[in-house]
Amino acid sequence: MIVEACKAKFTEPLRLKSGAVLPQFEIAYETYGELNAARSNAVLVCHALNASHHVAGSYADDPDNLGWWDNMVGPGKPLDTERFFVVGNNYIGSCFGSTGPTSPNPATGKPWGADFPVVTVEDWVAAQARLADHLGIERFAAVMGGSLGAMQALQWALSFPARVRNSIVIAATPRLSAQNIAFNEVARQAIMTDPDFHGGHYYEQGVVPVRGLRIARMIGHITYLSDDAMMEKFGRQLRRAALGFDFDADFEIESYLRHQGDKFSTYFDANTYLRITKALDYYDPAADYGGDLSAAFARAQADFLVVSFTSDWRFSSARSREIVRALLDNRRVVSYLEIDAPQGHDAFLMDDARYFGALRAYFANIVL
Amino acid sequence: MTEAETIARWVSPGARVLDLGCGDGSLLRQLWQTRQAPGYGVEIDDAKVIECIRNDVNVLQMDLEDGLAAFGDRSFDYVILSETLQAIHRQEPLLKEMLRVGHEAIVSFPNFGYWRARIQIAIAGHMPVSKELPYQWYDTPNVHHCTLVDFEALCAKLGFKVLERFVLTDGGPVSLLPNLLGSLAVYRVSA
């Protein structure tokens, strides 16, 4: 499938949850399939930490650059683009095309950098609603995402109850735990204490806080995999003939993390990383209801599919069951899958026959 | 009358139903179609969970042995345990949970006191194998068999009231000597 990246520009200011105002913004997006005449077959796909609007297919001039959820989305795939009009979008604050810290600040003409406001899941959803208006979509057949993307799918059902028929919430949590926030804080500290960070104004200095980004990514990666998956993949395998009795990488896992960190630091923006981890930390729809998630979901009107993976210790199945409980308390239509998959949090990106089979069946039952 | 028809007759129209061990969701589908009773199923088997989704039945993939913590007190009119009781390891806590979550429980199970089962043990000297109990002793998922008498004794011990009982053999009702002549029992109980 050959796809094309698009941009939509919004000149109406967007008031953010923090109180800050984005005077104008752009959203990068892609669409797959055709919007039907009734405009009833649109599905919004929301991405997690380091992905983008490039969900499926590849570009004519870059055939190797496959979308991050290409196994899930496309012709004949579980989310079948022969039947659905799928919209991939890049949230604001990102560094992959939508307005973010690397974009020019209209007030100064220079990149926003450290001055770009802290954005939240609620802000992303508000911006996505503008994109839906732009595309002529009054109501999505489904909003779907994994991890941080799942938080957006949840929030859609809360921010715009009448605009979502199905919310598909995969590997989610209704709020980060203290441990989750702790990992995020270590990552942020790694970035902010890098001498090249310059308080977020590193663009002007012509440098990138590469060391901080590397460590942030290495920490993140540890939390995406299960202990078993990591052991299975790397074990205690050495990457050199014998122990070196020095501090080069002895073990394959060290080398793997270094490689992931290096790669990430070449394409990801540090200011974006800080903001995304804050958006994760801040997300807590129950907060305005005295911690009562069931009360928070009273406004939801969508049907829900919730999926978790047993080996996911980052956002464990127990967190998804909290979401299910809140939905049951509100008598929402909900199905819940707890997939016994070994990969950890990253299982939501893997092609598992049970997971994909369930999603295929779920989408097939959505009446258009 | 089948077991499903019996349950459908007992469930009042529009009632909220939770079906534990719901298989492919066919009972819930039938209850929705005949009684407009919305419901949820609980099932642990991956393939059956997908079948439920295909059948457009709400299904929650959970282990009944972990209890029913996902469900609020009295959040259902009926909690159904159809031909699953014998496969549960700890019946007592589950039965109590069923009547915490539901106003009434509907429980069905193969009657181990059925005469054919008794003959297979007493005369032929082997564990019963039948339509209701199609497994060999070494490959059965069933761990706790009981008879009508046993189940009613457990209800009495737990302080549950038996509201209604329907006993079947080969799809026909049994009224005479049910613990001997019935192969499947369906009970409606309350706390």
Least confident interval from A90-94, A188-192, A244-248, B128-132: B128-132
Contact between A361 and B54 using a beta-carbon 8 Å cutoff: yes
- Smallest Cα–Cα separation from A334: which of A280, A294, A292, A283? A294
Task: Indicate the burial class of B100 (C-beta count within 10 angstroms; 0-12, 13-18, 19 or more).
Answer: middle
pLDDT value, residue A41: 98
Nearest CA in chain A to B38: A333
Phi-psi category of A33—alpha, beta or left, where left has phi over 0 and alpha has psi -120 to 50? left
- Smallest Cα–Cα separation from A78: which of A348, A335, A307, A359? A359
pLDDT value, residue B108: 96
pLDDT above 70: percentage of residues in chain A? 100
Contacts of A329 in chain B (CB under 8 A): 72, 75
Q: Is A224 in the B-facing interface, judged by CB distances under 8 Å?
A: no
The CA dihedral of B51, B56, B57, B61, to the nearest 10 degrees, is 50
pLDDT above 70: percentage of residues in chain B? 100
pLDDT value, residue B131: 85
Contacts of B72 in chain A (CB under 8 A): 325, 328-329
Q: Rounded distance, CA A334 to CA A356, Å?
A: 17
Angle at A360 between CA A359 and CA A366, to 5 degrees: 90
- Smallest Cα–Cα separation from B27: which of B69, B105, B88, B81? B81
Segment A120-128 shows an average pLDDT of: 98
Q: Rounded distance, CA B184 to CA B3, Å?
A: 8
Contact B159, B152 (CB under 8 A): no
Give how far B64 is from chain A: nearest CA, Å: 13
Nearest CA in chain B to A294: B72
Q: Is B75 in the A-facing interface, judged by CB distances under 8 Å?
A: yes
Q: Rounded distance, CA B50 to CA B45, Å?
A: 9
- Smallest Cα–Cα separation from B15: which of B46, B34, B49, B38? B38
Instruction: Please report how many Cα atoms fall inside a 13 Å half-sphere around the Cα of residue B7, on the Cβ side.
Output: 29
Q: Identify whether A345 is a catalytic site residue.
A: yes
Assembly ipTM? 0.93
Mean pLDDT of chain A: 97
- Express each pLDDT in A331-355 by its tens digit: 999 999 999 999 999 999 999 999 9
Inter-chain contacts counted by CB atoms under 8 A, chains A and B: 53
pLDDT value, residue A22: 96
Q: Is A339 in the B-facing interface, judged by CB distances under 8 Å?
A: yes
Contact B186, B3 (CB under 8 A): yes
Angle at B125 between CA B123 and CA B127, to 5 degrees: 120
Nearest CA in chain B to A354: B46
The structure's pTM equals 0.95
- Express each pLDDT in A287-329 by its tens digit: 999 999 999 999 999 999 999 999 999 999 999 999 999 999 9
Q: Identify whether A54 is a catalytic site residue.
A: no
Q: Is A325 in the B-facing interface, judged by CB distances under 8 Å?
A: yes
Catalytic member of A52, A312, A320, A346 = A312
Contacts of B79 in chain A (CB under 8 A): none
Please give the full DSSP string across B161-173, using - where no structure is assigned: EEEEEEEEETTEE
pLDDT value, residue B41: 98
Q: Is B181 in the A-facing interface, judged by CB distances under 8 Å?
A: no
Q: Where are the beta strands (DSSP E) in B44-136?
A: 58-61, 76-82, 102-110
pLDDT band at A170 (very low <50, low <70, confident <90, very high): very high
If one counts every other C-beta atom within 10 angstroms of the C-beta of residue B178, the result is: 21
Segment A258-267 shows an average pLDDT of: 96
Q: Rounded distance, CA B114 to CA A212, Å?
A: 72
Say which DSSP state A8 is in. Answer: E
Catalytic member of A40, A52, A94, A147 = A147
Q: Is B70 in the A-facing interface, judged by CB distances under 8 Å?
A: yes
- Extract the tokens encoding A180: 């989750």
Q: Is B29 in the A-facing interface, judged by CB distances under 8 Å?
A: no
Q: Rounded distance, CA A335 to CA A329, Å?
A: 14
Amino acid, single-letter form, for residue B76: F
pLDDT value, residue B132: 82
- Smallest Cα–Cα separation from B70: which of A132, A334, A359? A334
Say which DSSP state A260 is in. Answer: H
pLDDT band at B1 (very low <50, low <70, confident <90, very high): confident
Q: Identify whether A312 is a catalytic site residue.
A: yes
Contacts of B58 in chain A (CB under 8 A): 333-335
> Taking 90 as the threshold, does the pLDDT of residue B46 lie above it?
yes
pLDDT value, residue A70: 98
Backbone angles phi, psi at B109, to 5 degrees: -160, 155
Write the CB contacts of A138 (distance below 8 Å, at least 6 apart in sequence): A39, A132, A163
Q: How far is CA A309 from the centre of its chain?
A: 17
pLDDT value, residue A231: 96
Contacts of A340 in chain B (CB under 8 A): 46
pLDDT band at A97 (very low <50, low <70, confident <90, very high): very high
CB environment A94-117: b (16+ within 10 A), e (fewer): bbbbbbbbbbeeeeeeebbbeebb
